[in-house]
Amino acid sequence: MKSGEKIFAIAICAYAAVSAASPVGSFLVTNNDVPKANPPVGPAGSTATFYALGSDGAVTGMTVVATGGIGVGGGDFAYSRIAIVPQGDDVCVFASNAAPTANIAGISATSLTVTGNFAASSTDTATANGIGLAANASYLYAAFSSSSTIATFSVQSGCLLSFVSDLFEVGLNNGLVAGMAIHGPTMIVTFGDGSIESFNIAAGAPVSNGDAENSTGSAEDHLPNGLDITADGHYAIFGDASTTTSVEVSDISSGKLTPTLVYDLGPGWNSSSVRLTPDESMIIVTNNSGGAVTALRFNKVSGKIASGCTSGPLSGFYTSWSYAGAAALQLPTSLGGLIYVPEFGSNGFSSIGVVQLNSTGKSCTLSELSTSPIVDNNDASALLSIGIYPVRPF
């Protein structure tokens, strides 16, 4: 490994408040979203692959768990097809199976076994673009792409789910429900048509706050898709489907959306996926259609964004894989760490790119490790969603 690719030691204690109740070690998990006939090797249907993460961020071991469902082999970049919920001595991993099963698989991270497949209403369908997930300790929310419904499930002990209710929602311009993010009693949703809306989830099932609006960027065809929310609930950050790196910020400190401010910060193609670093000093943007990663400076007090650095296309882009999904982060300090990027395969298998972020506070670099990408030659044929445990607090 080159000196510029040295991996930062990972301070797991930074996540102690989240993981103290569980003896489960750090791991990375994928939702492979596999159609029944693909890949040619491994289980016939969707799988989740678990990798152990070392204290240095190194990926070791691989356990493939058949989820008992079938995927659609792709779909909306905004959807997180994985939700991770710590639960006592266990960690629950929920993975969506989009079509035609249209259900959610529960997996125990302790035993690496499926706890069940949980369906919503018979009218909830997701053959178009998959099923996106968001969760807190008590409820899981599933966005069904074809029926444009948000299903609410109660999270039960033993990593089980119990269906509660459905909510049909479309955007102001008839877009279908897309990205979701949760903070406390608030859930924010994008619709892929330029519009956004917030919901109150204090009682479980979402209730609209009546604040649906078109984003400021939508006037220039920058359409909010993926999103994240600051830890104090002050700002919602939207990654736009756009021909540039376009990110928008809404002040939600009142509990409702306010008009977004647009930051157009580079030529990166498509910025639908955004992730705040744990210290919230940066926003990690996946340039989905350009195969690159961009890091932007973020001021969590003012909500302002500034340019940072970019990686350029990752290894194998447009030869072995064709799209980049939402990144998962292992960034314990403001100085940097590792970024894991799901890479949607174009030759039958997918991969996970590993990028080192180095930051001085004033400047940054993003460089792909010489050991990247990680390739699962058995099952990861349509990879767009990954997750890492320990997770950020709900």
Query: Residue 184 is which amino acid?
Result: G
> pTM for the whole thing?
0.92
Q: Which residues neighbour 337 within 8 Å (Cβ) at sequence distance 6 or greater?
A: 8, 10, 57, 329, 330, 331, 356, 357
pLDDT at residue 365 in the model: 96
Contact present, 165 and 152 (Cβ < 8 Å): yes
What's the pLDDT at 75?
A: 86
Q: What is the pLDDT of residue 180?
A: 97
Nearest by Cα to 394 from 182, 198, 187:
182
How far lies 138's CA from each of 26, 357, 372, 388, in Å? 22, 34, 36, 19
Which stretches of the chain score pLDDT less than 50?
A: 1-21, 394
Structure tokens at 28: 């990375």
Q: What is the pLDDT of residue 38?
A: 62
For the chain, domains (ranges, CATH) are 3-389 (2.130.10.10)
pLDDT at 276: 95
Q: pLDDT by residue (tens digit) across 317-348? A: 999 999 999 999 987 666 688 999 999 987 77
CA angle 323, 52, 130 (to 5 degrees): 35
pLDDT for 199 equals 98
CA distances from 46 to 39, 41, 163, 251, 288 (A): 10, 12, 22, 38, 22
| pLDDT score of 8 | 28
Dihedrals phi, psi of 14, to nearest 5 degrees: -60, -20
217 vs 222, 244, 337, CA distance in Å? 5, 12, 31
Beta strands in 185-255 (DSSP E): 186-190, 195-200, 207-208, 213-214, 223-229, 235-241, 246-251
Instruction: Retrieve residue 354's tokens.
Output: 């590993």
